[in-house]
Structure 1
Amino acid sequence: MPFQHPEEIGYGYVIERYVTRKDSDHPRYLELNSARILRPGWPHAKRFARHLIDDASAITDAELEALLAYEWRSRLTAACLIGVDRRESFRGRIGDLLLASEVCYSGNAYCFALARLGTHADAELLIAYLDHYLPRTDLRYDQPAALGALLHLDARLGTHRAARFTQPDGLWDHWVNALAHLRDHPDYTPTEQRRWTDLHCAFANGWTRP
């Protein structure tokens, strides 16, 4: 699918309003793509969270679609807003974008959104992604984030869907061991991937109004 700038459909303002706005030292999309927001004592946390919650609630479905049709910064931001607001109507769209893997960086946000939506349907979308991409040992896409999100959902839903990927000498081990720079790396264990998803979701839970 060709990328479409929001200006082409009358939504040129959404980039500045939602993607590049600054509630810290950096544009929003950079903060969402970094681990700074998870650090205790981050000085911009309250302002960043307040504005993100407000925007996640206020953004319209049409504005989200305009962002999802554009490049990675816009898609990353839109997926995070969808996750924060638990906008369930975008479940299928997020699943399609994750499986297509058209652009870099945004996949982590798609996985976050599915983890936040938190249902069996979201788990099935993550499984479809892992079934497709874990056998591709030549590709390093968003396999870690997808596995972490699925493990997070297993814990939440009382299921064991990730077990067939994480069993010894299973698809996860084969994928990690095929990539020399990941082999024996402490960050690329199922436990560590779930920890990162848990952290992001716990932080987002803290953002969300009762």
Structure 2
Amino acid sequence: MPSRHPAEVGYGHVVESYVTRTYGGLPRCLVLNGGRFLGLRWWHTTRFTLHLLNDAAAITDEELEALLGYEWRSRLTAAWLIGVDRRERFRARIGALLLASEVCYSGSAYCFALARFGTHADAEILAAYLDHYLPRTDLHYDQPAALGALLRLDAVLGTHHSDRFTEPDGLWDQWVKGVGRLGYPSYIPTEQRRWADVQCEFANDWSRP
């Protein structure tokens, strides 16, 4: 599906309002992508977080749709705002975007949103993504983020969706070996789960002022 600038659908303000606002010289989208706000040592963490919480509560569904229909920076930011505010009505939209994998970087934010929603339906979306993309050992997309989110959901829900992926010499091991030959690092499931936990606990621990 071709992307459309938000201005084309009557929401030309949303990129400046929600995506490119700067913190420490970096636009919000790059701060979200890099994750530096998850560490308390960053000087701008409190300001960044309060603005993120306020915007997640204030942005309208229509503004979010405008961002989700544009490029990766806008989609990444929208997915974080959706996840922080737990707008579960966007589940199907987020799931479709994750499976389509049309643009770079934003997929990890979709995984965060699904992990934050925290239901069986979200686990099924993540499992469907892994079923589709783990066999592609020539592609490095958002498989690590998806597995981390699924492992977190299994722990929260008491389910075992991830077991069939992480069994010895299973789809996960085969994918790691495949992308390893392309020069990517060896991803460890427990580390992917830890990163999903850090993201979700960040959202859980902060309350709106």
TM-score by length of 2: 0.96
Q: CA deviation at 1:96?
A: 0.1
Task: Give 3-state SS (helix, strand or coil) of 2:192's partner.
Answer: helix
Aligned residues: 207
Alignment-mate amino acid for residue 146 of structure 1: A
Matched, 1:72 2:72: yes
Alignment-mate amino acid for residue 108 of structure 2: N
> In structure 1, how many angstroms separate the alpha carbons of the residues matched to 2:30 and 2:2?
24
Spell out the pairing of 1:39-58 with structure 2 (5 A cutoff).
Answer: 39-58=39-58
- Cα deviation, 1:124-181, whole Å, max 9, x if unaligned, reads 0001100000000110000000000000100111111100000000000000011222
Q: CA deviation at 1:204?
A: 1.5
> In structure 2, how many angstroms separate the alpha carbons of the residues matched to 1:197 and 1:69?
25
Matched, 1:189 2:183: no
User: Which residue does 1:101 correspond to in 2?
Assistant: 101
Q: CA deviation at 1:4?
A: 0.6
User: Which residue does 1:145 correspond to in 2?
Assistant: 145
Q: CA deviation at 1:182?
A: 3.6
> In structure 2, how many angstroms separate the alpha carbons of the residues matched to 1:85 and 1:208?
11
Task: Give 3-state SS (helix, strand or coil) of 1:169's partner.
Answer: coil
Q: Is residue 50–residue 208 contact of structure 2 (8 Å, CA) maintained in 1?
A: no
Spell out the pairing of 1:11-50 with structure 2 (5 A cutoff).
Answer: 11-50=11-50
Q: CA deviation at 1:205?
A: 1.4
Matched, 1:209 2:208: yes
Task: Give 3-state SS (helix, strand or coil) of 2:34's partner.
Answer: coil
> In structure 1, how many angstroms separate the alpha carbons of the residues matched to 2:49 and 2:5?
27
The structure 1 segments of at least 4 consecutive aligned residues displaced by more than 4 Å after TM superposition are none
Q: CA deviation at 1:203?
A: 1.1
> In structure 1, how many angstroms separate the alpha carbons of the residues matched to 2:51 and 2:63?
17
> In structure 1, how many angstroms separate the alpha carbons of the residues matched to 2:33 and 2:25?
14
User: Which residue does 2:59 correspond to in 1?
Assistant: 59
> In structure 1, how many angstroms separate the alpha carbons of the residues matched to 2:118 and 2:130?
17
Q: Is residue 57–residue 85 contact of structure 1 (8 Å, CA) maintained in 2?
A: yes
RMSD: 1.2
User: Which residue does 2:170 correspond to in 1?
Assistant: 170
Task: Give 3-state SS (helix, strand or coil) of 2:123's partner.
Answer: helix
Alignment-mate amino acid for residue 65 of structure 1: E
Q: CA deviation at 1:106?
A: 0.2
> In structure 2, how many angstroms separate the alpha carbons of the residues matched to 1:52 and 1:23?
11
TM-score by length of 1: 0.96
Which consecutive residues of structure 1, in runs of 5 or more, have no partner in the other structure?
Answer: none
Alignment-mate amino acid for residue 190 of structure 1: P
Task: Give 3-state SS (helix, strand or coil) of 2:149's partner.
Answer: helix
Q: Is residue 83–residue 113 contact of structure 1 (8 Å, CA) maintained in 2?
A: yes
Which consecutive residues of structure 2, in runs of 5 or more, have no partner in the other structure?
Answer: none
